[in-house]
Structure 1
């Protein structure tokens, strides 16, 4: 299942539409309106995730973490994808609570998200209470290690909590889909995610939270910090509203335990393989063509994750020539760049939302392989463009990012166009690999759960590689983002070439069958 950052959710022991290891009572028929409202929690979670992507990498640098070290902070996403999602999928499949299988986990995850958001937003104030500098934040630009430690702990809790909610929320939609079908449920869920992205990036690009809520500014928390704090507090309110709506309208039927599970000859329930280990054991059962899908998926994510990691930081440094640890003017320029970068991500989400409706017709017309390869070539051009735009903006091919002091409004406009343009291949990334995987599992065997779980690994491993390597790699070339984007362009080109020759060919008729088209 797709997450906000593109990761997958592995539901263990899937049987039937609900993804559970055994049958529950037949679900009560649900109207389309109630199904739509049942998925509303996805919008609340994605609202906070959009804020996390757009604001937190730049913010943590103001607390003392270097640009090179910020990438290590994002290791929590891949780790959560490998550990939390399989375990939550397993336990939610087997949960016998009278509230249902999914809602207890959704509620727990949402409450943890609220706690994590408060910790992140108030990390500067908590750090000051623990012994950081007593100087005014507008005058002090040195490290604040207590605040940084509190922030990182809150950040990791936030990412683990997001993973706790996303899987059961998507499985809940499948459980309730009934005669509407899982395709309709998936479309509703993705629509809520798109809306959450748009609202989150809009909130992140707003620079007036400190004016609307002046009490958020403190001695340890200046304007940029107060804006982040305000945006995240609104995210808490919005998430709780969405979560409440989901609890009210998602009427689950309690799980009945071990009934209808396969049994052995002696009548004992036959244990099914569960957990992450089951995925690795099933590698030998992968259908033909799946290894090439995994390879191209990994190369594609190697090309995307540097941009996901550093997009708003790139705007603040290379385009607005700011420095989160520099003078007051440099800090202000950096914060303005981050704000405009968040607006660029808003445009990206809008284009992504419109493009998502066009992917299935495109795949029917030219086939999913050509669509996927074309998206990789688009990313190759876009990542190369970011490096060229940076050189153009800096006007100094040999100096450090902070050496440049000029900026151009035309360059800023080009950057926003680039952000919007990337919404097209991003929509393809969130859709086509999963459709190809589903087709291989359906026509050549191997199991949907197995293939989906293995595809998750091919997404997580590239993220670990980039998280570990992008920061130190950039540090070798002037502490900017240009080297990582240059390498990303190369990976996208390689992924496109490899995909052209190695991806399995899926006919348009086969794609229509797996996607539900043609009915």
Structure 2
């Protein structure tokens, strides 16, 4: 279903929240207009995005490799990531709708942001200390440097913390994006979106920097215990710093993001002598909200789903790929293989750091590109770039394993040229990733602002089209790779195919607008 003729703007839409007018919030109530916000205050209001992304970067770069040291197999690690999609399907739409209708004196979004951040801090502490907790619950009493078997108590504690972390992340993400939509005001959607993406990029840079260092156990030697050796202590140190950084970002956002409380239905005009209709509450209200999605939203959901089918295999296995196929390590092998794997993981985290730097600079170029050629062309082009990159990833793996005879871990160590090419590939993917983080949300926010539906609800529904592909990949990637030698190459090859299909589908499904229409709406802030 193409939404032809819908006027779109890249960025977080300025209407629909506390800074919008009338009913744009989609909750049906009266919202007072905020005072014009300064650019500096708008920047500080989005700081929580950097704190959340710091922990998310650590989660992406370190946790898939780390959990394999506790006993989970490579195939089972993909199932562990099911918690994110489930949380996204359940939490984000509900939180989005409820934040649209929240009547707290603190505003619509900030209560949910505060709650989610407190839960994130608790979850990362549980993850960081999972090995120590497992030791206390009855795992092996052997020194961790000597024992390479399974530690199931630690693995269970870790997975529980991992699930809580994903639920908490989903509690914060939707309201944080909607908050920037509410406050963007006269600065326009492009500015608000660039600020939000820049904070995400900064969080990624700091998170991946923390993940790529091997010195946390040296700086804080007390982190090492009988159950927690160097790799575990490094993970623990990085996550404790994440708690401090997120707390700082949260305080800044709560202080500077001054929201006007939502008044509910009380101020809505009604038919003659009829009482105002009470708003629906509860989970059924989310389902009813689906009926009010703006025109053009179904096509955005379809293309978003295909786009994420192409991205999630890389997001899931990027550092594991570096440890296995490029550095030829094994998290359950002998000491040399474990060290090679850890070196690959750190190199992958450094590659993600480069990726985030490119993402940060690219985020400022997205709106000008969309004004010149339109958001549909930008989005479709990014899918074709991912198609080429994922195919290149598989080819690099074959290059690295060209002398492979037997298991991945017996292949000869890759040369420096292969490692350099991998880092270049990581950096290159920062461009389409910036588009992925920006354009779908921008299109959704603008549809909500111009066609109704509620910023929070529409963002939550968009997240469903992100998490459903994650369920598909989480369920299928592990067994799929198991069929082809327990490596990551098959998943990356499949990702290339999904990117190609997503690009072709985008040509026909995404809303088509003229450059003149786009410039006029974007410059006007989408109102």
> Would you call these one fold, judging by a TM-score over 0.5?
yes
Displacement of 1:279: 6.1
Displacement of 1:446: 7.0
With the length of structure 2 as denominator, give the TM-score of the two structures: 0.89
Distance 1:148 1:481 in 2: 22
Displacement of 1:401: 1.5
Select the residue among 494, 503, 513 that pairs with 1:506.
513
Distance 1:471 1:504 in 2: 35
Q: Deviations for 1:72-96, whole angstroms, at most 9, x for unmatched residues?
A: 1111211121211222223333333
Displacement of 1:42: 1.5
Displacement of 1:334: 0.8
- TM-aligned CA distance change 1:275 to 1:400, over 3 Å: farther
Distance 2:512 2:55 in 1: 38
**Are the counterparts in 2 of residues 17 and 182 from structure 1 also a CA contact under 8 Å?**
no
2:132 maps to which residue? 125
2:58 maps to which residue? 51
Distance 1:109 1:349 in 2: 24
2:9 maps to which residue? none
Displacement of 1:447: 4.5
Q: State yes or no: 1:64 paired with 2:68.
A: no
Distance 1:375 1:233 in 2: 35
**Are the counterparts in 2 of residues 355 and 424 from structure 1 also a CA contact under 8 Å?**
yes
- TM-aligned CA distance change 1:63 to 1:318, over 3 Å: same
1:294-443 equivalence runs, <5 A: 294-396=301-403, 399-437=406-444
**Are the counterparts in 2 of residues 512 and 518 from structure 1 also a CA contact under 8 Å?**
no
Q: State yes or no: 1:99 paired with 2:109.
A: no
In the alignment, structure 2 segments of 5+ residues that lack a partner are 1-15
Aligned pair count reads: 508
2:242 maps to which residue? 235
Distance 1:95 1:432 in 2: 27
Distance 1:266 1:175 in 2: 32
Distance 1:397 1:12 in 2: 57
Distance 2:299 2:95 in 1: 29
The residue matched to 2:520 in structure 1 has which SS?
A: helix
Select the residue among 459, 470, 474 that pairs with 2:477.
470
**Are the counterparts in 1 of residues 17 and 182 from structure 2 also a CA contact under 8 Å?**
no
RMSD: 2.8
Distance 1:224 1:406 in 2: 21
Displacement of 1:263: 3.8
1:3 maps to which residue? none
Distance 1:291 1:19 in 2: 18
Displacement of 1:311: 0.5
1:94-173 equivalence runs, <5 A: 94-173=101-180
2:29 maps to which residue? 22
Displacement of 1:439: 6.2
Q: Deviations for 1:467-505, whole angstroms, at most 9, x for unmatched residues?
A: 111011111111110110011111112222333344443
With the length of structure 1 as denominator, give the TM-score of the two structures: 0.90
Distance 1:142 1:400 in 2: 20
1:246 maps to which residue? 253
Which segment is superposed worse, 125-134 or 201-210?
201-210
1:458 maps to which residue? 465
**Are the counterparts in 2 of residues 12 and 275 from structure 1 also a CA contact under 8 Å?**
no
The residue matched to 1:218 in structure 2 has which SS?
A: coil
- TM-aligned CA distance change 1:12 to 1:403, over 3 Å: farther
Distance 1:172 1:400 in 2: 50
Displacement of 1:261: 3.5
Q: Deviations for 1:415-455, whole angstroms, at most 9, x for unmatched residues?
A: 00000011111112223334455666778x57465765543
Displacement of 1:388: 1.1
Distance 1:84 1:416 in 2: 35
1:24-43 equivalence runs, <5 A: 24-43=31-50
**Are the counterparts in 2 of residues 27 and 252 from structure 1 also a CA contact under 8 Å?**
yes
Distance 1:20 1:434 in 2: 19
Q: State yes or no: 1:174 paired with 2:181.
A: yes
Which segment is superposed worse, 26-35 or 40-49?
26-35
Which segment is superposed worse, 105-114 or 209-218?
105-114
- TM-aligned CA distance change 1:234 to 1:16, over 3 Å: farther
Distance 1:150 1:213 in 2: 23
Distance 1:269 1:301 in 2: 41
Displacement of 1:21: 4.4
**Are the counterparts in 2 of residues 75 and 467 from structure 1 also a CA contact under 8 Å?**
yes
Q: Deviations for 1:108-163, whole angstroms, at most 9, x for unmatched residues?
A: 21111111010000000000000000111111111100000000110111111111
Distance 1:95 1:29 in 2: 22
**Are the counterparts in 2 of residues 299 and 495 from structure 1 also a CA contact under 8 Å?**
yes
Distance 1:352 1:416 in 2: 14
* Greater relative contact order structure (CA < 8 Å, 6+ sep): 2
Displacement of 1:287: 6.6
Select the residue among 463, 487, 492 that pairs with 1:485.
492
